[in-house]
Structure 1
């Protein structure tokens, strides 16, 4: 089930296949907080932690985002943000994992702005049926 979810996430987001491990980890993270086990009528997260998970911070895999450039020494007129793609959640903290397009590296940060609606609007425009 994880492989199918990861494959769907990679295809829908049009992400490169080198992000397959990130897609698997993100699928596992979200399924542990959202899929209810039939026998216990609870999510795996609830069974382990004894409380319902907070899912308000979940985002769409591959969503366009703008991480704030707070690690590099930037000049007065240089950009303070980069363009990236959301690829998951940190295992060690509450940070998000982002693929930075400029540096071509995966980074973890909490200082980020998401733009999920532009990707959804693009999908809606491109999937409209044509009149014949």
Structure 2
């Protein structure tokens, strides 16, 4: 099965906080990851859980794969744009507040195909020792 992915963009959670939650679920079964996210006391857990559920729905729509055969393959968080706000300070000064956003990406795959290395690494390894740059000289 080809992996299905879902992406939540411009989520109003700091990327560092979202990364801590995403690190919890990477490599887990989908049901186990969803249960873990449901009881994780972090504001980032809800958008991550919604993104995971969207990836599962995408896998079902694309290939008809059932939920119990899926595993969280790749999951990462990228930085989004930062909203800059000002807070009044003492003596007429203004302090900058950075409201950070992030993009959450989750890829789910079959448990069988998610066990080994990613597909791109497997093709590179089988291409030979030399690769494009080096090789036997």
Task: Establish whether TM, by shorter chain, passes 0.5.
Answer: no
| Higher share in strand | 2
TM-score (normalised: structure 1): 0.28
Higher relative contact order (CA 8 A, sep 6+): 2
- The alignment's TM-score, normalised by the length of structure 2, stands at 0.27
Structure showing greater radius of gyration is 2
